[in-house]
Amino acid sequence: MGLNCLRSQIRMQHLPPTSRQVALKIVLLYLIISLFWIFFSDQFLSYRFDDPLVLSRFQTYKGLLFVLVSSVLLFFLIWRYLRALQTSEGRLLMVSEAVSAQTGAKFFHLLAEHLQDVLKADCVLVAAADQDNPSSLETIAMAYDDDSFQKFRFNLENTPCERLRQNEICYCPFDVRGQLPKDHPFSKMGMQSCLAMPLVDAQQRTLGVMVVMNRGPFPDRAAGESMMRIFASRAASELERRLSEERISQLAFFDPLTGLPNQQRFSEQLDEALHQIENSDQRLALMYLDFDRFKTISRALGVDQSNRVLCDVASRLKTMMPANGFLSHLKGDEFALLLQDFGSLDDLQTWLKNILDAFRAPFPVAGHDLYVTVSVGVAIAPDDGRDSKMLLRNADVAVSRAKALGRNNYQLYSAEMGKVSFQSMVLENRLFRAMEREEFLLLYQPQCRLDNGAIEGMEALVCWKQGGRSQYSPSDFIPKAEETGLIDPLGEWILETACAQNRAWQQQGLPPQRVAVNVSARQFHRRDIVDLVARILRKTGLEARWLALELTESVLFQDISDTAETLGKLRELGVHLIIDDFGTGYSSLSYLQNFPLGTLKIDQSFIAGIPADTGSDTITSAVIAMAHHMGMDVVAEGVEKQEQMAFLRENGCDKIQGFLFSAALPPQDFAALLSRTSNKMTQRI
C-alpha cells in the first residue's frame, strides 16, 4: 500500500465513540450555562435598570459579551481539536512514511517499533498463523525491551484472545495475566492489558495477528484501534506475500514426495557447513545412502507403493537425526546426511550401525512385510575433501565400495578406494576404445568326451589384448561392460565372430563342432535375443544345430515365465541350450524342468574339491545322475588333474573342459588341434 493511500485512510477515519461522547458533554454543558446566563442576566438587568433605553443598551452589551466569550471558547476548542488531529495525523504519517517503502521482515519490525512509539505501548508484536492450525502463532516481529522474548510461539486457545480466530478484535483492558496459563509468554512478560487485531486475506482466512500490550491499563483503545486498522490490510498483504514466497521456496528447495530438502538445498547447506568449519578444528561427515535393489522393489510394487516406501524410509531417518544433522532426499532411493562436529570416529560408526539396525525392521506394504537394506558411503571433511564436489565424489566412491562388498553395510572413504575408483574409470574408458580399435579376440577351448577322448564342442571365450598380450581377464571387464551397456555391441560381436569362425572351419573340411557362446543377463532380457540369433545365423550361414548358448542360473530365474518362452523360441530355431556354472545360483534341478535345456555344466568350484572333498564328490555325482535322468548331457569345467578326470569318468560325466585337456586356443591353433585329433580318431577306426 502506497503512502498516498495510507494518508487517505488517515483522513477518512471517523471520530471514535469516546471523542463523540466528550463533544456531546461539552455541548450540553455549554447549553446549560447559556440558559442560566440568559435567564439570570435578564432578571438582574430588569431589577437594576428601570429606564427602557438603558436596559436595552445593557442587554446589547450583554449579548456582545456572550458572543465574544462563546467565540473565544469555540476557538479554543476547535484549535485544540485541530492540533490534536494534526498531531495524530503527523504521527500516523510518520509511521506510514517509515514502513510504506519496506517489505518483508524489515516492514514488520519497523511497524512494531513505530506503533510502540506512537501508542506509548510496552509491547507490540506481529505474529504469523500456522496454516494447518490457525490457533498456533509465531512472532515474526516484536518491539519489546527484553531480547529474550524476540521469537516465540503461542496459542490462542483458552485465552482472552480466542475470538481472534473468528476474525474479531480482542480487547482486554485489565487482568490479561490472570486469564492466561502461567507458562504462556504473555504471562511471563507481565502484561495486564492488550488490544489485538486479526490480519486476514481477501478470503477472510486468518494469516496472523497484530497485538499491542501494556503492563498497566490500556491508555486509549480508540486511538490504538484506529491506527491498527490503518495498517492491518498492508500487514495482511505482506503476510500473504510472505506465504507465497515460502510456497515458492518449498517447491524450489524441498522434495514434494518426502518433504525433505532436495538436492539443491542440500548443496547449499553443504557449502555453508564447509565454510563454517573452514578455520576451525571441527569435522563434518557426509553420508550418502543408497537403498539396495530398490529398482526391483519399484518394478514389483509399482510407482505408488514404492513412493510410499520412500516416504516411510524418510520418516524413519527423520526420527534418527540428531540436532546437528541435516537430512536430504537427493533423487530416487538416494538420501544424504550431514553431521557437524560428530565427535570421535567411534561415535560416528556407532551411529552408522544404528542406521543399519533401524532398517532391520520391515516396512508394512500392501499387507506384506517388506525388508529394505541400505548401503552407506561416508566422506569426512576436511580429511577427504575441502569442497563439496570432492566430498560428494568420495562419498559416492565409498557407497560403491559398500555395494561391492555385499551391500547392507557402511564404508568410510579411504585413499585406496579413490585409486580403485580411478582404475575403474580408466578401465571403462579403455573398454570403449577397445571396441573401436578391435582389440578383442576370441579364443576357443575344446571339450573332450570321456568315453573316447574325441573333441566334441568348444566354448568361445573373449580375450582383450593390448600390445600383443592379454591385459585384462574377462572377470575384470565383462562386469564393467554390463554396467556401461557395452555388453550389447560386444556380445553381438562375440556371437557373430564365433558363428562365422565355426562356419569357416566347416568350409575348410574340418569336422563340424558346436560352438558355445555365453549370453549375459542384459543381452537375454533387454534385447530380442531370438531375432538377434536368427539374424546372425542367416548372415554367417551357420546351421542352428552348431550353435549353443550358455546361460547362468541367475539369468534363467529372473523371470521364469518369460525365460521359458524365450528359450522355447530359441529351441525352435534349433539352437542348443546350456546351463552354465550350475551350483553357484539357485541350485535347484526341479526348476530346470521348466526349460528346454540340453546340457548342464558343473561349476569348477565343485570340480576343484574332487576327490579329496567328500562333499564335492557327493554333490557332483548326484548332479550327474539327476541331469542324466532329465535327459541332459553333463560337462565338467575346470578339470586340471588326472584324478578329477578319473572320478568324473567313473561317475558317468559326458565331457570335460579344462587345462588338463587344453587351454583356450586362438583360431588357427584350435583348427590344428581339431585336425590332429580328427586324424587320430580316423586312424583308430
Average pLDDT, consecutive stretches of 10 residues, N- to C-terminus, the chain (685 residues): 43 45 69 72 67 71 75 75 64 57 78 84 90 83 82 82 80 83 83 89 86 86 82 85 80 86 90 87 89 79 87 91 90 90 87 90 84 90 87 87 82 75 63 77 94 92 71 74 80 94 95 93 80 94 96 77 88 94 62 84 89 87 91 93 94 94 93 82 48
**Cα–Cα distance measured from residue 274 to residue 280, given in angstroms and rounded to the nearest whole number:** 10
Please state, in angstroms and rounded to a whole number, the distance separating the CA atoms of residues 519 and 533.
11
Residue carrying C-alpha cell 557402511: 410
**Distance of alpha carbon 108 from alpha carbon 127, whole angstroms:** 9
- What was the pLDDT predicted at 45? 64
Position 657 scores a pLDDT of 95
How far is residue 57's CA from residue 52's CA, in Å, rounded to a whole number? Answer: 9
Instruction: Give the pLDDT confidence score for residue 663 in this predicted structure.
Output: 92
Return d(Cα 268, Cα 287) in angstroms, integer: 16
pLDDT confidence of residue 15: 41
CA dihedral 304, 305, 311, 317 (to 10 degrees): -150
Question: In angstroms, how far is CA 76 from the centroid of its own chain?
Answer: 72
* Spacing of C-alpha 57 from chain mean position: 100
Q: Say how far residue 629 (Cα) sits from the centre of its chain.
A: 54
What pLDDT is recorded for position 452? 87
Report the pLDDT value the prediction gives residue 101, as an integer from 0 to 100: 59
Burial pattern 67-90, b for ≥16 Cβ within 10 A else e, equals eeeeeeeeeeeeeeeeeeeeebee
What pLDDT was estimated at residue 10? 39
pLDDT at residue 43 in the model: 67
pLDDT score at 7? 43
DSSP character at residue 278: T
CA-CA distances (angstroms) from residue 376 to 263, 268, 409? 17, 22, 6
Q: In this predicted structure, what is the pLDDT of residue 540? A: 95
First vs last C-alpha separation in the chain: 110
pLDDT at 189: 86
- Tell me what pLDDT residue 514 has: 96
Question: Mind spelling out the 3-state secondary structure of 524-580?
Answer: HHHCCHHHHHHHHHHHHCCCHHHEEEEEEHHHHCCCHHHHHHHHHHHHHHCCEEEEE
* 387, three cell numbers: 569442497
The model's pTM: 0.48
